[in-house]
Amino acid sequence: MGVLRKTYHAGYGPQCMKAVILAAGEGTRLEPLTAVRPKPMLPVANKPLLEYVVEAAAEAGIDEIVIVVGYKRERIQNHFGDGDDWGVDIEYVLQEKQLGTGHAILQVEDVVGDEFVVLNGDLIMGSESVERLVRRREATGNTVMSVIRSRQPSAYGVVELDGDTVVSVVEKPPEHTQPSNLINAGAYAFDRSIFDAIRETDSPGEQAITDTLSRIAGHGDIEGVRFEGQWLDVSHLWDLLSVNGRILDHMAAADHPSVSVHESAVVSDNCVVGPDTYVRANATVLPGVSLGANVEVGSNAVVSNSVVFADATIEPGAVVRDCIVGENATVGENATVSGGDTDIVVNGNHYENVRLGGVVGDNADLGGGVTVSPGTVIGNGTTVATGASVSGRIESNATVRRG
């Protein structure tokens, strides 16, 4: 464990309740996007996922934050620095090997006080939820675990309550055995006893905090606090699109003084556009679109329900629907990503009827007239030749030729 930075506001010290944000993981299910950036730095409405978590903690009145970093940590540290832009002090603790959330929490043992909050760096929740967590901890002195209702509880850790007491925590149980529709919402309030509890837990493989919570649940000293309102999880590539749309639905329309939109182009209100972006003549940017900084949308192009990373180019006449376009990628003239629902296999798991027109990896280059079938994932640095049709998963740095 290495402490990479440590400062405190005047008048505060290590006994104050800090927020610990877990942001060391890679997120392999989101490849190829996470091959060059940690999962918490994936952009949603032109802000990294992790930035929403930092803002929620700050708005809840927490002004000292510890971020546990590991995989490609420079991307996180360069963006957040010392936290001054968010009105907080940020320090960084290094998890050298990503051995699970329980192991990550152990890394902060020397830099937190008697009580602290733990948040996941890739789960967006409102500041009111963080406040509820803190208030419950202050009121009861018990370990507090956040829970939320889910339509798909078997995809998460299912939590059973007796009143407000956590009776059991079962990680991803079969649907016919799940004890409730409440899931672990990934936010906790602990005291220092959690460190010994983690060490005493025999965890096969990675050391997950849910293993510890499952072991000690039922002793009567873990309380569940129910979250309502915003709770957004990005577990798969298509989640990035749906979460982006949810965030945009609640954002007010903003002026973009450094954006150049041709008078004949249309940019819907339900969009966010980064600085130094160009939308050319007769182009149409429909709802649910985030255009990053220095993006160009060519004349007569159509973009809808898509996340376009910084420095990408959508060339004239291209149609891009339900798509993620990576940083510095190019979608060629008259290329088509038609969008729609599809079935996808990720790490051997089959997912039906997910909305994902395609993913164009960072620095990938789609030539003119390329057709991308729904669910296609094109790796980073891959070149697809003019007129080719592509489907499935294409590895990074490949060359796909027509025919």
CB of 153 closer than 8 Å to CB of 178: yes
Query: Comparing 135-144, 184-193, 343-352, which segment has the lowest mean pLDDT?
Result: 343-352
Using alpha carbons only, how large is the chain's radius of gyration in Å? Answer: 22
pLDDT of residue 176: 54
- Residue 49 reports pLDDT greater than 60: yes
pLDDT band at 206 (very low <50, low <70, confident <90, very high): confident
| Token pair of 3 as six digits | 């402490």
Q: What is the pLDDT of residues 32-47, one digit of tens each?
A: 999 999 999 999 999 9
CB of 374 closer than 8 Å to CB of 338: yes
| Fold equal for 2-235 and 238-400 | no
Q: What is the pLDDT of residues 333-349, one digit of tens each?
A: 999 999 999 999 888 88
Q: What is the pLDDT of residues 110-130, one digit of tens each?
A: 999 999 999 999 999 999 999
CATH of domain 2-235: 3.90.550.10
CA distance 156 to 150: 9
Length of the chain: 403
Architecture of the domain delimited by 238-400 = 3 Solenoid (2.160)
Name residue, tokens 């609640």: 250
Give this prediction's pTM: 0.92
CA distance 100 to 200: 15
User: Domains of the chain: which residue ranges?
Assistant: 2-235, 238-400
